[in-house]
Structure 1
Amino acid sequence: MTDGLTLLLAALGVALVLEGFLPMMAPTRWRRLFEQVMRLNDGQIRFFGMASVVFGLLIFWWAV
């Protein structure tokens, strides 16, 4: 396996672990948080998505 693919798979694994902590440890709280997200309008969701992409790209740029 190439180093790039190994790094990509490792990053994906870490992301999945982090994403799984809240539903695993506090499913009721996760459900309430998800219900609040469902009440956001499209512009708010797009803003959070854009902020996540920019932050992720900055981390990627810094790491590479």
Structure 2
Amino acid sequence: MSIILLAIGLVLVIEGLVYALAPSLVEQLLEAFKEMPESSRRMMGLIAVALGVLLVWVAKYLGA
């Protein structure tokens, strides 16, 4: 359970930094996502989930 809380906390920190430091870049990225086909956005989401799971597994394996 502590790993899940750690992961959620880290996501919130990173998301918050992006919005705080580069809000106009976020708007540009959202506009670019609107132009992408739904299948591409879905594939990017699945890749992000897989990468996240892999990183959590590696962190757990290393003793986090």
TM-score (norm 1): 0.77
Query: What do the CA deviations read for 1:10-61 (whole angstroms, capped 9, x no partner)?
Result: 2211110101112111211211111111111111111101111111121122
Name the amino acid aligned to 2:10: V
Q: Would you identify which runs of 4 or more consecutive aligned residues in structure 1 move more than 4 Å?
A: none
Aligned equivalent of 1:63? 59
Distance 1:6 1:60 in 2: 12
Unmatched 5+ stretches in structure 2: none
Rg (Cα) greater in structure: 1
* CA RMSD across the alignment: 1.3
Unmatched 5+ stretches in structure 1: none
- State the 1:9 CA deviation: 1.4
Q: Percent identity?
A: 30
TM-score (norm 2): 0.77
1:1-64 correspondence to structure 2 within 5 Å: 5-64=1-60
Residue correspondences, number: 60
